[in-house]
């Protein structure tokens, strides 16, 4: 079994007073490593980072909800995790409540990255 670091990014455009939220569920046998504090929640870029109402992480799911923005500034967050990979790809189902943010992923230290969409997403692990 291989382990890969991955960062998920979520961003709402300027002018949106919606709350930033997402639910990512791994829909196959790959899992999120919960050992050793490998989950990181960080600001992304120069955008405002809204206060989190909650962030729940399990072996197959990351779910978060931020408080609604008090301003019309762009808001964003990134969540880093380590994936225990048992295959060459990972399928993630993404759902959001309300306004859909721009969503993407990146494997740090590699050129492997891509956009995420609501629904099913297949992500190839870097070689």
Q: What is the rounded average pLDDT of the residues 13-26? A: 84
Q: How far, in Å, CA of 24 to CA of 16, rounded?
A: 22
Strand (E) or helix (H) holding 55: strand 52-58
> Can you give the C-alpha Rg of the chain in angstroms?
14
Summarize pLDDT for 20-66 with one digit per residue, the tens: 899 999 999 999 998 866 788 888 887 778 888 999 999 999 999 98
Per-residue model confidence as pLDDT tens digits over 59-94: 999 999 988 766 667 889 999 999 999 999 999 999
**CATH code of the domain covering residue 89:** 2.60.40
Specify the number of domains making up the chain: 1
Structural domain range at position 101:
2-124
Q: Which residue has the tokens 């490998």?
A: 38
Question: By the 8 A CB rule, do 42 and 77 touch?
Answer: yes
Dist CA 60 CA 11 (whole Å): 22
């Amino acid at each position: 079994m291989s382990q890969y670091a991955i960062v998920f990014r979520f961003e709402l455009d300027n002018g949106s007073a919606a709350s930033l939220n997402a639910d990512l569920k791994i829909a196959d046998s790959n899992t999120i490593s919960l050992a050793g504090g490998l989950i990181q929640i960080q600001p992304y870029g120069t955008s405002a980072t809204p206060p989190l109402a909650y962030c729940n992480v399990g072996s197959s799911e990351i779910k978060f909800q931020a408080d609604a923005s008090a301003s019309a500034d762009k808001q964003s967050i990134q969540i880093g995790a380590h994936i225990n990979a048992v295959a060459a790809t990972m399928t993630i189902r993404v759902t959001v409540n309300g306004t859909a943010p721009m969503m993407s992923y990146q494997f740090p230290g590699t050129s492997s990255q891509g956009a995420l969409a609501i629904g099913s997403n297949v992500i190839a692990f870097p070689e």
